[in-house]
Structure 1
């Protein structure tokens, strides 16, 4: 029987438990010293099967520490809290996208054992997974951009919320009816259709012919600052995040209904 051995400075207890639970009939043996588990040996013919949980373990355990080191080294200008948040987002993304990463690691494991019967895990990670580490750095950069974008978004929402609170309302009750095509129709409290007037106000102030319906909606509400906002046919809203934005900014002034009736009179629009 030809055996292969993996040596490492890392704790192997989690990998040991996974392998023993899934492959109890397979030949494998873990070596333990006073500092914990340091190496294990298995039958080479079992490697293709056992390499699957091994790759997953390397991805989730070894590269969790890699993420922390990359962020600490590359993003020193960020605060400790910001680095922690980016680290958490990156680890979550790594879990979500682990299939491609696991396959990449597994292929390299099998390739290395075609050449040698012994593998040092630290050397394997450093020298054989350079492509993986490049992908990991790109993932962290994407998570950084996502974090900063979200941070800017919430800061912007705070400004809009403050503005909506301190500025005097310029309109009474505004009724908004979502359409199946993603557009919105606007009505005053007497149920008069004022869609054209509202859009005219928007284009007069912003003059952006490429603005989306959602951009126009938010801008109209910020311009008018209605005392009360009634939203009808919410199930037709294509961008569900828009409701979260409106709730964050206007809070109790926003009432949402999935039906097709006026909130006050019961009359259909």
Structure 2
């Protein structure tokens, strides 16, 4: 049975390796493809077959999916090479050259790599890529012969909105992370200029997401931290995490001990403390209070 006819010209060497990959992937699933090729001038005509016994809805669906992913990569390359610079320069004209280079590197990774899902940005981008692939798959399933160059030429405009949305999301994340890095640098500066007011601070998190903070003698210093923040003139923190960060900065301890770090629900707070205070951070998982905390977590 004929699965698909494919037309492409000599400039698309990526097609051959892509078809080989499709053939190998289907072979793993027990489906053997037959391939015939003819040429007229610089145009290649490929026909892909499978046996009547192997021809079923699942085989056709798998082939169309793999072939759609191959065309997606070619569409992504077309957008990256010919459309991305213009889109970034017109929409994000405020970015410096070094920032544009970094954004383009991030776009390259997102367009072409299939990494682990790390955050909601990754989920969003995957959904957009799937949107493009599904449109390609719909077209492929409705035609017996696909002209690769023709499809890319006439369908790139249709895919632009999805690619641009991916770029928007990547730049949004990039700007947020850049602002966060600048925020960390500012906090580190405040720590450097502060006079040390306490030798050691111990921070514990309980099963309810609350924090307990003590000095080296086991005395609670939350109230002291709040007082120091008010005296320093900092804007009043809006939540307990803000109070902890601001309090640590004003106290500027020589040593900060994080107990049972794996139980911190707010990982962002933990990462911020680690980045701001760096070598002053120590981790404890074996003291008496840690053991009590772990028993409470396990029991509940």
Measured against the shorter chain, the TM-score band is 0.7 to 0.9
Quote how far apart the aligned CAs of 1:88 are: 3.1
> What aligned pairs does 1:246-261 form with structure 2 within 5 A after superposition?
246-261=273-288
Quote how far apart the aligned CAs of 1:65 are: 4.1
Q: Is the 8 A contact 1:71 1:83 kept in 2?
A: no
Once superposed, which parts of structure 1, at least 4 consecutive aligned residues long, lie more than 6 Å away? 32-35
Deviates more, 1:84-93 or 1:38-47: 38-47
**Counterpart in 1 of 2:6?**
5
**Counterpart in 2 of 1:184?**
211
SS of the residue aligned with 1:42?
strand
Quote how far apart the aligned CAs of 1:250 are: 0.8
Q: Is the 8 A contact 2:197 2:251 kept in 1?
A: yes
TM-score by length of 1: 0.79
* Mapped pair 1:124 → 2:146: no
Question: 1:33 and 1:181 mapped to 2: Cα distance?
Answer: 72
Q: Is the 8 A contact 1:55 1:102 kept in 2?
A: yes
Q: Is the 8 A contact 2:38 2:44 kept in 1?
A: yes
SS of the residue aligned with 1:186?
strand
Question: 1:65 and 1:79 mapped to 2: Cα distance?
Answer: 24
Q: Is the 8 A contact 1:186 1:198 kept in 2?
A: no
Q: Is the 8 A contact 1:89 1:143 kept in 2?
A: yes
Q: Is the 8 A contact 1:67 1:140 kept in 2?
A: no
Q: 1:214 to 1:59 in 2, by over 3 A?
A: farther
1:55-113 deviation digits (Å, cap 9, x = unpaired): 111223431341343331122343444233223323433435254543332112223x1
Q: How many residues align?
A: 256
Among 110, 131, 140, the alignment partner of 2:141 is 110
* Mapped pair 1:63 → 2:93: no
**Counterpart in 2 of 1:74?**
87
* Mapped pair 1:206 → 2:223: no
**Counterpart in 1 of 2:36?**
29
Q: Is the 8 A contact 2:5 2:145 kept in 1?
A: yes
Question: 1:125 and 1:172 mapped to 2: Cα distance?
Answer: 65
Quote how far apart the aligned CAs of 1:34 are: 9.7
Gaps of 5+ in 1: 264-269
Q: Is the 8 A contact 2:204 2:211 kept in 1?
A: yes
SS of the residue aligned with 1:191?
coil
Q: 1:197 to 1:161 in 2, by over 3 A?
A: closer
Deviates more, 1:148-157 or 1:58-67: 58-67
**Counterpart in 2 of 1:195?**
222
